Amino acid sequence: MSALDFYAHVAVCGEVRGVGLGAGPEAWEAALGATCLDVPGGGLLRRDYGLVEINFSPDQPGRQGQMSCFGFGVKIQRLLYDQSPNTVPSPLSREYGEFAPRVPFKQLQAAILALGRTIELDKHNTSSDMDCYRVSASAARIHVVADPDPYGSGDPDPDGHQRGDVWSVDVW
């Protein structure tokens, strides 16, 4: 299994190591480990594992104090500038090996198509600098760099993101 397999699995199945929408913080910790940054605010909780970021909200009334995931993202863009050992949770590194700092959309698209799904441009969530693609029968959205120089400085970072790089895979 490779990092590309991981990204395709998240996009098709909407889960990370068997955990996805509706799971509580304990389930995510069991899947990704205890090394993370919790950022509470406004009654919500954002749990940041570096590559993976999870959002939790309080459960239904009657289940006081319990939270469940209402969305998460695999933030591939972080790998380009933060290559510290903790950016990729160790359970993912052990299972999928090395995570490259750049993922071309064409490669991810081919991996998803090989799993029997289709991908289409989501025109409602596409902007001038970021394309958004929807995966069939999935809650996943794939964000892809459309303009590596969105502010028009004329000097995009040659080591930075390039047109066609996957920015993130988000599940909501």
pLDDT digits (tens, 9 = 90+) for 26-81: 999 999 999 999 999 999 999 999 999 999 999 865 556 699 999 999 999 999 98
Question: Could you tell me the two tokens for 16?
Answer: 């990370």
**Whether the Cβ atoms of residue 58 and residue 45 lie closer than 8 Å to each other:** no
Residue 61: predicted pLDDT: 59
pLDDT digits (tens, 9 = 90+) for 123-171: 999 898 999 999 999 999 999 999 887 777 777 676 788 999 999 999 9
Segments making up each domain of the chain, as ranges: 3-171
Nearest to 1 by CA among 133, 95, 131: 95
pLDDT tens-place string over residues 73-104 = 999 999 998 888 889 999 999 999 999 999 99
Cα–Cα dist 78/124, whole Å: 25
Which amino acid is present at 5?
D
What's the pLDDT at 62?
Answer: 54
**Secondary structure of residue 170 in the 3-state scheme:** strand
Beta bridge partners of 145: 130
- Mean of the pLDDT values across residues 115-120? 97
Q: Quick one: pLDDT at residue 55?
A: 98
